[in-house]
Amino acid sequence: MDLGFAEQIGFRALTLLTFLPTIGALIMLVFMRGRPNAYKTTALVTSLAAFALSVFMIFNFDTSTAAFQFQENFSWIESYGITYHLGVDGISMLLITLTTFLSVIAIVGSWNYVDDREIGFFISLLLLETGMLGVFGAMDLFLFYVFWEIQLIPMYFLIGVWGGGRRIYSAVKFFLYTFTGSVLMLVSILAIVWWFAEQNGAPTFDIQTLQAAGFPPGLQFWAFMGFFVAFAIKVPMFPVHTWLPDAHVDAPTAGSVILAGVLLKMGVYGMIRFCVGFFPEVTVKAIPWVMVLSVIGIIYGAAMSLIQSDMKRLVAYSSVSHMGFITMGLFAFNLQGVEGSVLQMVNHGILTGALFQMVGFFYERSHTREIKDYGGVARPLPVAAAFFSLFVLGSLGLPGLNGFVGEFLILVGVFQYAKVFAVLACVGIILGAAYLLWMYQRTMFQDLTNKKWLSYKDLNLREIVTLAPLAIMAIWIGVWPEPFLNMLHAPAENIIAQVQPYMAQQDSVFHMASTFLGGF
C-alpha cells in the first residue's frame, strides 16, 4: 500500500526538496556575504529549483490513492522508535507546492524590500521554507514537532529584525503564543506515545501506526485538547487569534505573505493529520464547538475588517474570517466540506498572499497603509488597480475566481451538516464583500485627494512578474479546479472514513443543542 520513493521517482525527492533551501542558505552564508546580487540570485534560483522539484513530484504523484507517497524511512533515535520518515498524500503534496510557490513569490516580491542586513533576510526566508516543507512532509511525530518548532525561529527574526511598527512586541507575541501551544502538544505527544508503548511494548512516533492505535476515551480527550489548542492558535481560531493582526501588520511583506499563505495552513493541516487521525471519536464530539468557534471567527473577523483604517490590518482580520471557513468546512466531514476546506487553504494562500503583496507594493511607494491616505489610486496606477481588483474579487468569492470554488464547496458541505451554520457563514460572505469592496472603492476609486500618488510609478516588470503567477493561479483554480480536487478525492475520503464510525449519533442539530447543554 505504501509507496516508497524508489519505485515512484527514483531519488530522495522529499529530502532533497526539504533541505534544498537550507543548502542554498548555507551557500549564501559561506560564500556570498557582501555581494547582494550573488546571494539574491542564489536565493531565487534555490526557491525556483524547489518549486520545479515539487511540480515534478506532482507529475509523478498517484492521485488514485490516499496512501503516502515518495516515502523515505530511516531509524533516527532507535531506543524511542523515532524515525526520519517523510511522505506525502494529496493534501500535503498540494500544500508543499503552495509553499514552494509562495516562497518564490516572496523572494521576488522583496527583491528591493530590505536594505539592512539583507542577506539575513533571504537566509531566513529559505530556512523558513525548509521548516514549512518539513512540517508537511513529516510522517514521524517527533520529526513533525522538530520542524513545527524550527520554523518559528526564522519567522521570529523576520518580524523582529525587518518588521515595522511594534515589531519587537509582535515578534515576541507571535513566538510565545505558538510556543505555548506547541509545548502543550508536546505533552500530548508524550502521553499518547507512552500509552502506546505500554500497550505494545515499544514506543513509536510513526504517525500511521499511532493513527491505528485506538486510544482510550479519557486519553483521547486530553491529548486532543493539547493538539487542538496548538493548532487552533496557529490557524488562528477565535479566541486565540490575537497574535495574528499584530504579527501580520508588523511583519515585512514577505513575512505576511508566508504567514498568511502557509503558516496558518499548518494549523489546519495539523488538525487533519492528528486531531482527526489520532482522536476521531473526540473530534466528532468537538464538531459543534469547532463550528461555533469558526462561525464566531468568520463574523468577528469580518466585522473587525470592516472597521479597520489600515489596509494591512484589514487583510489580516479577513484572514481570521477566511480561516473560519476552512475549519468549518473540514469539520463538516463530508466530501464537499473537506475538499473545499483544503482547496480553500490553497486559495487563501494565493489570494491573501497576493493582497499582502499588493499592500506591500503600495506601501513601498507611499509609506502609508492608512486607507484615508489613498483614494483615486486607480488613475495613476492602473495596472496595480487591475491586479488589486482581481485579488479583491477573488477574495470576496466572485464566481470564476478561485475563492468562489472553495467557499462554495465549503458551504455545500456545511449545509449538509447543519443549515444554521451555512446561513451564518453566508453572513460572513456578505460582510466580506462589504469590507473588501468598500476598501477597494476608498483606495482605488473616488477623488485623488493625496496628490503624492501622481508622482508614484505604476508596477514595474518585477512586481508584475511577482503578481502574474498569483493571478494566473487564481483564475485557473476558479475556472478549472478539477486537477486540484483530483488530488484531494482519495485523502478526503480517507479522512471521512476515519470519523464515519462515530458520526452516527452526531447528525442532527437537535443533538447538537443537547451536546451544548450537556457539555462533552
CA distance 476 to 490: 22
Q: Which is nearer to another protein, 139 or 473 (CB)?
A: 139
Least distance CB 231 / another protein (angstroms): 16
Q: Which is nearer to another protein, 150 or 306 (CB)?
A: 150
Cell numbers standing for residue 405: 470554488
Q: Residue 183 interacts with another protein (CB under 8 A)?
A: yes
Q: Residue 190 interacts with another protein (CB under 8 A)?
A: yes
Q: Which is nearer to another protein, 187 or 212 (CB)?
A: 187
Q: Which is nearer to another protein, 225 or 298 (CB)?
A: 225
Least distance CB 21 / another protein (angstroms): 15
Q: Residue 175 interacts with another protein (CB under 8 A)?
A: yes
With H, G, I as helix, E, B as strand and everything else as coil, classify residue 71.
Answer: strand
Least distance CB 236 / another protein (angstroms): 17
CB proximity list for 120: less than 8 A, separation 6 or greater: 157, 161
DSSP class per residue in 165-222: SSHHHHHHHHHHHHHHHHHHHHHHHHHHHHHHHHHHSS---BHHHHHTT---HHHHHH
Least distance CB 160 / another protein (angstroms): 4
Least distance CB 126 / another protein (angstroms): 16
Q: Which is nearer to another protein, 149 or 458 (CB)?
A: 149
Contact letters for another protein, residues 102-121 (x by CB under 8 A): ---------------x----
Least distance CB 98 / another protein (angstroms): 24
DSSP class per residue in 302-371: HHHHHT-SBHHHHHHHHHHHHHHHHHHHHHH-SHHHHHHHHHHHHHHHHHHHHHHHHHHHHHHHHS--BG
Helix (H) or strand (E) holding 280: helix 280-306
Least distance CB 368 / another protein (angstroms): 23
Contact letters for another protein, residues 119-158 (x by CB under 8 A): --------------------------xxx-xx-xx--xx-
CA distance 163 to 440: 25
Binding residue for another protein, selected from 21, 90, 109, 160, defined by CB under 8 A: 160
Select from 185-193, 253-261, 282-290, 383-391 the region that touches another protein (CB under 8 A): 185-193
Least distance CB 152 / another protein (angstroms): 8
CA distance 205 to 142: 6
Select from 186-194, 328-336, 366-374, 393-401 the region that touches another protein (CB under 8 A): 186-194
Helix (H) or strand (E) holding 75: strand 69-77
Q: Residue 184 interacts with another protein (CB under 8 A)?
A: yes
Q: Which is nearer to another protein, 171 or 418 (CB)?
A: 171
Select from 188-196, 389-397, 477-485, 498-506 the region that touches another protein (CB under 8 A): 188-196
CA distance 429 to 423: 10
Q: Which is nearer to another protein, 247 or 359 (CB)?
A: 247
Whether 410 contacts 345, CB under 8 Å = no
Cell numbers standing for residue 457: 510609478
Least distance CB 163 / another protein (angstroms): 9
Binding residue for another protein, selected from 44, 67, 191, 383, defined by CB under 8 A: 191
Neighbours of 517 (CB within 10 A): 7
Q: Residue 180 interacts with another protein (CB under 8 A)?
A: yes
Neighbours of 486 (CB within 10 A): 14
Q: Residue 172 interacts with another protein (CB under 8 A)?
A: yes
Least distance CB 156 / another protein (angstroms): 8
Which parts of 208-227 interact with another protein (CB under 8 A)?
222
Which parts of 58-87 interact with another protein (CB under 8 A)?
77-80
Q: Which is nearer to another protein, 85 or 167 (CB)?
A: 167
- 376 φ/ψ sector (left φ>0, alpha ψ -120 to 50, else beta): left
Least distance CB 427 / another protein (angstroms): 36
Whether 193 contacts 205, CB under 8 Å = yes
Least distance CB 39 / another protein (angstroms): 15
# chain residues binding another protein, by CB under 8 A: 33
CA distance 183 to 191: 12
Q: Which is nearer to another protein, 180 or 389 (CB)?
A: 180
- In order of 268, 284, 296, 453, 454, the CA distances from 287 in angstroms are 14, 5, 14, 49, 52
With H, G, I as helix, E, B as strand and everything else as coil, classify residue 84.
Answer: strand
Which parts of 330-349 interact with another protein (CB under 8 A)?
none
How far is residue 5 CA from its own chain's centroid?
Answer: 26
Whether 2 contacts 67, CB under 8 Å = yes
Q: Residue 171 interacts with another protein (CB under 8 A)?
A: yes
Q: Residue 186 interacts with another protein (CB under 8 A)?
A: yes
Helix (H) or strand (E) holding 76: strand 69-77
**Contacts to another protein by CB under 8 A:** 77-80, 117, 145-147, 149-150, 152-153, 156-157, 160-161, 167-168, 171-172, 175-176, 179-180, 183-184, 186-187, 190-191, 193-194, 222
